[in-house]
Structure 1
Amino acid sequence: QRPVLVYIHGGAYNTGSGSSAVTDGARLSAHGDVVVVTLNHRLNAFGYCYLAREGYPDSGNAGQLDLILALKWVRDNIAHFGGDPSCVTVFGQSGGGAKIATLMTMPAAAGLFHRAFTMSGQQVTASGPLNAMRRTDAYRTALGLDTPPAHAFASMPVQHLVEALQTADPVLGFGSIYFGPVLDERHLTRHPFYPDAAPQSLAIPMMIGNTRDETRGFTGADRSLFSLTWEDVPERLAGAMRIDVLPERVVEAYRQLYPAYSPSDVYFAASTAARSWRGALIELEARANARAPAYAYQLDWRAPAEHGIFGAPHTLDIALVFGNLEASTFIAQRTEAGEAMSRTMMDALLRFARTGNPGWAPYTLPQRATMIFNTQSRVENDPRRAEREFFARIPYVQPGT
């Protein structure tokens, strides 16, 4: 029987699919002689709209319950596909990693997986029930509903339900409405990593990683971010960091840390550290404090697209761990360097799936051992220490909650 790797897709809790070309499991399965499972589940309002007041107490975590049902199916059936139900690794990127962090504190998920590997996806806190209700009310208003939404939803065209997802979020004050796991005291009775790592999953080895240049992957069509001036940076940085700190102070600190950085370099580095990296560090520190097995990585390998301007952006590690380089817009072709980086990351994941150890020292305090994946990969203690210490002074708020 082979180790089983169950991939949970990203796209926050709002979009995404387990059926995309970049997550095709054929190459990973063949390379490691493992069984790879991908899946889909209910998203956005269909999976996380909290309707407890209307008599649907499970609704705020329906998407998570889909994942639990899928893992139960794996437990009961994967042996027929040559998989070992006692050696199941869940792995996911971005929202997929956040979903895994949430599963690690849900009692119904206990015992359904034995390793957890999250890529650029953290969930320190869930949405509180009162904020979740505010979002339900805003969504109902956007749909033009005066009656209790649970009953009216049943007869409303799906297209209308999808269009209303673009309504402004009443809690955040910016962006479209957020739906995600809810602290409902029923299926989710505590936050995933607050005030500590969930006790039910401390025995499960966990691998937590991020890319060095996460926010370079969020530029979309806005190429002005690659040619910012020093006057531009504070205003653009204020919204991108998702924390309450004077952006001018952040710019000053980064210019001292990295004198050679351009304005755009500072923007991407600071927004990555504040928005994406902080959650990973909190989870790693919580696991280390509990003496639970945790392993850290940072992907530094520069994607070749457009002469490397994206660095190591958000989503880059998906193509590398699946071996589907040509399916990533940041890689787009198979090269010797890309193949080598992909093999290195696949081998780390496969070793972790088999043994619970990817091949380097666990994350402990104060050492903070971290694998730096690059052309010449290496283990480094406490990488970007000055950045970590700077942002550690500022309260972290889980995006969306």
Structure 2
Amino acid sequence: MLRESLTGLKVVDFSVIGAGPTCSMFLGDMGADVVKVEPPDGDPGRRLGPPWYHERESAVYVAFNRNKRSVCIDLKSPEGVAVARRLIASADVVVESFRPGVLDRLGLGYAAMQECNPRLVYCSVSAYGRTGDYATRAGVDGILQAASGLMMVLGEAGQAPGKVQAPIVDVATGYMATIGVLARLIQRVRGGKGGHVDVSLFGTAVALQQPSFTGFLGDGALPARVGSAAPYSAPNEAFAARDGWIMIAAYLGNRWDRLCELLERPELVEDQRFLTSSLRVSNRDAMRVELSAALALHDCDHWVDLLLQNDILCSKVCNYADVVESPALAHLQLIAEMHGDDGHTYRTPGFPINSRESQSTPHRAPPRLGQDTKAVLFELGYLRDEIDALLSSGALLAPDSKGGHAGT
């Protein structure tokens, strides 16, 4: 099973919030033992909200941290750094999202750790890469949507810059990091050594825009902001029906002809403005007026049923409530359900590869801050007295080491 493909691998995750935690979560979804290392006040993602799960857990934190164990280490203390070093020395993979140079100064960077653990795969996630003029700049999803040009191709012309509300750059960077880690692990199987994976939010955000950037590099023209429409084909956009919106992609000749017939507008097939997809792109506003008038006569369900029966690509523009009720979501089993040791149930979008197989094995709920600190240190060979001393010094934190603190 895919859920067992990385069983036996140990991942130490120093990353926070979105991109790095997405990578380590997917590695955990594939069976790796993921140890999430958090500072005394926890991953900042724990404090981002609303919305909140069960009035105490951030949905942001829950979204990115299933199938992990939490160890709380204060890297500002020498004792904490020593524990982290021992943890990394035992790992197959490290994922980190500190600003470039921070872990190097602590003696926990790739160069230092590779010497004592040559098989280590070390993944660094940053805003703009580890070198260059922007290397020390911090960045989050929205900033990189702006810096990469993505915000300037979203929304309608004349409106304020748009933004993908889902943290698409964070999540896609997590995908990229996962690919890089898996590639380095294959390299290790072949050559016995690990390697460094360097992935940036900026690089991912640019790569997400392959067609529009390629067009700009080809002709130098800035892409127009066309809302839901694809800039390179038409019709390929959302139209208002009587009770909502419907997305239609009928830009190939035979589908365009069929759409015009189904809308009872056969004369549009011979209209000189709309003879090809390129002409329809050039005359998009006029095309939209003609199609919108017909589509407004009936509800979304009417049009979806009719168009699908005639092989026209379409979908109602769904909200999340619609998606949760979708037969496709149910069939693919795309929601992972987890039961925490606090008695609460947590639900998130699950691992999307071989999803029906992936959800057949229970997932570990996102951990409370430091809930596995003692267990992980025992596994590293620390004695009980040593662990107690580290807890007393503040180098480590466990749920019961500060009056029942659980990081909520």
State the TM-score, normalizing by the size of structure 1. Answer: 0.24
Larger radius of gyration: 2
Q: TM-score, normalised by structure 2?
A: 0.24
